[in-house]
Structure 1
Amino acid sequence: MPNPPDLAALLESPLARDRDADSMQRQLHERLKRAILDGRLAPGSRLPGSRALAEALSISRNTVTAAYEHLAAEGYVQPDRQGTRVTELSSPVATTTTTKRPRNKPPDSPTTAHRLASIQPRAAFSEPDATFRPGVPALSHFPATAWRRALDRAIRTASPATLGYGDPLGEPQLRAAIARHLAIARGVRCEPRQVVIAEGAQEAISLCVRLLSNPGETGWIEDPGYRGAKSAMRAGDMHMVPIRVDAEGLNASAEDWQKHPPRLVYTTPSHQYPSGAVLSIARRLALIAEARRHGAWIIEDDYDSEFRHTGEPIGAMQGLVPDAPVLYIGTFSKTMFPSLRLGFLVLPEALLASVRAPLEEMLRGGHRHEQLAMADFIESGQFGRHLGRMRRLYRDRQQALRLALTRHLKVPHEIDGGYCGLHLTVRLPPRFDDRRIAAEALRHQLAPVALSSFALQPLPSDNGLVLGYGNTSVELFEPLVKRLSQLARAAECGDSGSGA
């Protein structure tokens, strides 16, 4: 067995003794561990006795003993009758330093699933309060005091059992409240047992993919359309087929059904994202009929249709006909606030028996007090009153943004986005690079998203900007649109500046 090494030399520098330093025991433990991992303390070498090392380092023997015991508990050293020796280890650090590698060749990248390469990164991150960011509601108008009272009641009245895991499909009170609300507000046909609580619409879409598709099966997605649906299908190893969207929404032809029969069809029929088109009743009924005929399931994402700014609300496709092959998805991210992370999935009655057991294994239940508070918020009428206030606010903001665009966007453009929701889409001629405009806008704390980034197979018409107005004040619209106009002109002429 090798003689004890000179640990005082191996530790490289004296242990720090100032008040803000880690304890002597922790410092000694970390340095010994690092010396073992990087090979400076060879396997089988014997460490000095605790008394000898304590004297060499001028520290307490108890400190050395405690550090040795910690190393032994982790398996770095092995005490025996002759002292303490270093365990035989496969050191990852030592391996990488001794392996010969061609000059200038970087280390091998970690191995990941092939599907990750096909998942498109979202646009550059922007703060929630960045202007014109799509999908963010008016956060400063949320009734935080009323929500806090609902949370307080939920915590005060709930039993200690609510601190444990709940029903994997969600709290019964919230599922019942959602079922009643959807029947009245959206025309959805469902019983509470059909409602599954999820962490937002994205998890609900992913659940649909995991429950209903097999790798290699075909999924239809709107083009341009919601990137989260594409990511969920890619993660499920589905073969995606983009179906173009026009003024009447998803435009699936007989040839599409014949050549690419889908297992899943994702659609946003009440307010297509991002074009704002409404799927016509003729196309809704045809889509349901063809899905039945081909054994396909429709995922209806009703993400922001609570906020319709003109006329009567458009009912959900799910409730059009009995037993429609439609999985209805909703979220509280737009009607409440995004960080709540509560959404829901309404399953067709025909699926309940076959998916209940898998769902109980895939989900664990959680956010129980938030779910109970949300149920109380709905049943007390606070949710309905909040929706009414927000409808008026968003209607006024959309009208103001349309006016600001008409007055101050001094480049050729068309305004899409319908009269619903929290965003407008501004289409630009192809000579204006929408991705360049969006990237430059972010430098000015504006966060519109390039329309072309939503398309799987972009066409020249898929060029423009998606502008969120939900969390942007009306008084900012005119100066912000003027800035966008400058950025667009700069992108057209190829100037690298902002045009300001």
Structure 2
Amino acid sequence: MSWSDVYPWSPPRQGEPVIRQVYDQVRGAIVAGTLKPGGRLPSSRDFAARLGVARASVVAAYDLLLAEGYAVARVGSGTFVSGDLSGVTELRPPVAERARPPEIPPRVRDLDEMVLPAPQSDPRLFSTGRTLLDARAYDAWGRSMRRALRTLGPEHFGYSDPRGDAALRAAIADYLRAARGGVCEPDQVLVTSGAQHAVDIAVRALLRPGDPVWMEEPGYPATRHALTAAGADIHAVRVDASGLVVAEGMAAAPQARVAFVTPSHQYPLGVTLTMGRRMELLNWARDAGAWIVEDDYASEFRYDGPPLASLQGLDGGDRVLYVGTLNKALFPGLRLGYAVAPRPLAAALANARQLMDRQASTLTQAVVLDFMREGHFAAHIRRRRIAYKAQRDLLAAELRARLGYVLEVDAPEGGMHLIAYLKDGRSDLAAEAQADAGGVTVRAISRLYRRIEPRSGLMLGFTGFPVRAIPAGVARLAQALA
């Protein structure tokens, strides 16, 4: 690719040799690296017209560049920057001494030191955050895309509502009322780029530096990073078999401003917050005047009994900011999620979302809306729930059969991964490295603890690959850990 067509060429100045000025401009762009080796230069005719000079002047300037090795001519194709500038790069002008850079602010250092997860493109068995579209969903998605492209309207060519498409927000509200017992109307729904985007918006809107917050321990690292970046005072609240231990949070930070929780399928342990704990958490929030951010990231996939009502539905929508995602329900590359805001927060969250990246893709929203309206979304969820349950059960059974001597397997009631705890004090970090060397991906959960004694365990995803691949994958894991 050549950028010569958009380079800001300047017309020659009066009173100075035209050929030399054209030569200096082109040579300067090549030496500076703006025009890359192999890039095409403008034709002499077009370049002359653009500069307002005689074509002969441009041809003469090009002849100088050719003679000095900056350019090469290709018969029938044009003039190009030389692919080998080794003989002329010493002509690059010396770099001026730079002034002392400004001091790096502490917040920038905090962000720079964060250990963020690598892109989850790992196709290997047991990697997490992966989904599968079956043939029916794939075909339906293609039809929805084609319909959306055929019906492009003015809203797709300009700025739109930062809250999201009104029809899609209404469809999401209908879905949440039916599936999660949500109490919401379309004007409370905010379309985001995913659950983490929604959490980040909530952090920006609800917290000031130094505000105390509750966060589950162990917990989702991206939420911790968002809170750290905002300067929040994070209080780690332990998670046990019943979920967040609310009493410990009340003892540690009774006046916390916000509690960040994953009640349906706690990340990473996979436990479900019991009804008693849910009511205890809501009562604390009412008494303390606090908000709750409910990240319901995998609520669609519950395999053992009906899902418990969402905190947002139990509360009536007064103090719970509900977060959901379509990326887990469909596929991560979709980059679409949503938040349901209590009415006093709805306008502020929409403004914060607009400041961050203005709006979600209108075309993507149109495709999802068509997919939902045609009934494909609900049908896809039903099929995936059956398939994922079978994958969860087979993975748990294979792990117990082959690795029961070293792993204690905890099959979750829902979600997209399970936890296998290591016995006899074995290091999950070492096991993670052994599995990686053996060609499978597991994640050590000990690194997700910050302030309490970690438990050694491995996180294994079971949703991103065919069920028939699981036995062979467990065999490889067993060989690696042996």
Task: Specify the alignment match of 1:483 in structure 2.
Answer: 476
Task: Specify the alignment match of 1:391 in structure 2.
Answer: 385
Change (3 A) 1:94 1:381: same
Task: Specify the alignment match of 1:170 in structure 2.
Answer: 164
The counterpart of 2:466, out of the listed 473, 480, 499, is 473
Task: Specify the alignment match of 2:95 in structure 1.
Answer: 93
How many angstroms does 1:468 deviate by? 0.1
Task: Specify the alignment match of 1:457 in structure 2.
Answer: 451
Task: Specify the alignment match of 1:295 in structure 2.
Answer: 289
Amino acid at match of 2:27: L
**Aligned-partner Cα distance in 2 for 1:27–1:226:** 52
**Contact kept? 2:184, 2:340, Cα under 8 Å:** yes
**Aligned-partner Cα distance in 2 for 1:121–1:430:** 30
Change (3 A) 1:204 1:147: same
The counterpart of 2:330, out of the listed 329, 332, 336, is 336
Match of 1:113, SS state, is helix
Change (3 A) 1:126 1:384: closer
How many angstroms does 1:457 deviate by? 2.6
TM-score when normalising by structure 1: 0.75
Amino acid at match of 2:359: G
TM-score when normalising by structure 2: 0.78
**What does 1:230-249 align with in structure 2 at a 5 Å threshold?**
230-249=224-243
The counterpart of 2:369, out of the listed 372, 375, 387, is 375
**Aligned-partner Cα distance in 2 for 1:354–1:57:** 58
Match of 1:196, SS state, is strand
**What does 1:89-488 align with in structure 2 at a 5 Å threshold?**
93-95=95-97, 113-116=108-111, 119-122=114-117, 127-139=121-133, 143-253=137-247, 256-257=250-251, 259=253, 261-429=255-423, 431-460=425-454, 462-488=455-481
**Aligned-partner Cα distance in 2 for 1:141–1:262:** 47
Amino acid at match of 1:457: R
**Aligned-partner Cα distance in 2 for 1:190–1:398:** 32
**Aligned-partner Cα distance in 1 for 2:231–2:136:** 39
Deviates more, 1:351-360 or 1:259-268: 351-360
Change (3 A) 1:34 1:484: closer
Change (3 A) 1:263 1:120: farther
**Contact kept? 2:125, 2:440, Cα under 8 Å:** yes
**Aligned-partner Cα distance in 1 for 2:476–2:301:** 28
How many angstroms does 1:281 deviate by? 0.9
Amino acid at match of 1:119: M
Deviations 1:394-435 (A, max 9, x none): 011111111101111153322224121211100113632211
Change (3 A) 1:274 1:413: same
Change (3 A) 1:25 1:467: farther
**Contact kept? 1:432, 1:488, Cα under 8 Å:** no
**Contact kept? 2:203, 2:226, Cα under 8 Å:** yes
**Aligned-partner Cα distance in 1 for 2:173–2:210:** 34
**Aligned-partner Cα distance in 2 for 1:263–1:115:** 22
**Aligned-partner Cα distance in 2 for 1:236–1:168:** 23
Change (3 A) 1:253 1:422: same
Match of 1:93, SS state, is coil
How many angstroms does 1:478 deviate by? 2.2
Amino acid at match of 1:281: M
**Aligned-partner Cα distance in 2 for 1:359–1:475:** 42
Deviations 1:309-356 (A, max 9, x none): 121122211101324310000001111110000000000123235545
**Contact kept? 2:323, 2:340, Cα under 8 Å:** yes
**Contact kept? 2:237, 2:249, Cα under 8 Å:** no
**What does 1:41-60 align with in structure 2 at a 5 Å threshold?**
none
Deviations 1:234-265 (A, max 9, x none): 12111111111001000121663464532121
**Aligned-partner Cα distance in 1 for 2:249–2:445:** 27
Task: Specify the alignment match of 1:30 in structure 2.
Answer: 29
Change (3 A) 1:176 1:328: same
Task: Specify the alignment match of 1:79 in structure 2.
Answer: none
Match of 2:329, SS state, is coil
Deviations 1:358-417 (A, max 9, x none): 444445123101102211211211101111110110011111111101111153322224
Q: Percent identity?
A: 35
How many angstroms does 1:115 deviate by? 2.0
Match of 1:185, SS state, is helix
How many angstroms does 1:178 deviate by? 0.1
**Contact kept? 2:214, 2:258, Cα under 8 Å:** yes
Task: Specify the alignment match of 1:498 in structure 2.
Answer: none
**Aligned-partner Cα distance in 2 for 1:342–1:349:** 22
Change (3 A) 1:58 1:393: closer
Instruction: Could you tell me which runs of 5 or more consecutive residues in structure 2 were left unpaired when the two chains were aligned.
Output: 1-22, 35-56, 72-92
Match of 1:253, SS state, is helix
Change (3 A) 1:126 1:363: closer
Change (3 A) 1:141 1:407: farther
Task: Specify the alignment match of 2:39 in structure 1.
Answer: none
Change (3 A) 1:310 1:410: closer
Change (3 A) 1:355 1:229: closer
Deviations 1:128-149 (A, max 9, x none): 4221011211245572221121
Match of 2:95, SS state, is helix
Amino acid at match of 1:93: V
**Aligned-partner Cα distance in 2 for 1:203–1:92:** 44
Deviates more, 1:136-145 or 1:225-234: 136-145
Deviations 1:63-111 (A, max 9, x none): 9xxxxxxxxxxxxxxxxxxxxxxxxxxx993427x99xxxxxxx99977
**Aligned-partner Cα distance in 2 for 1:229–1:417:** 24
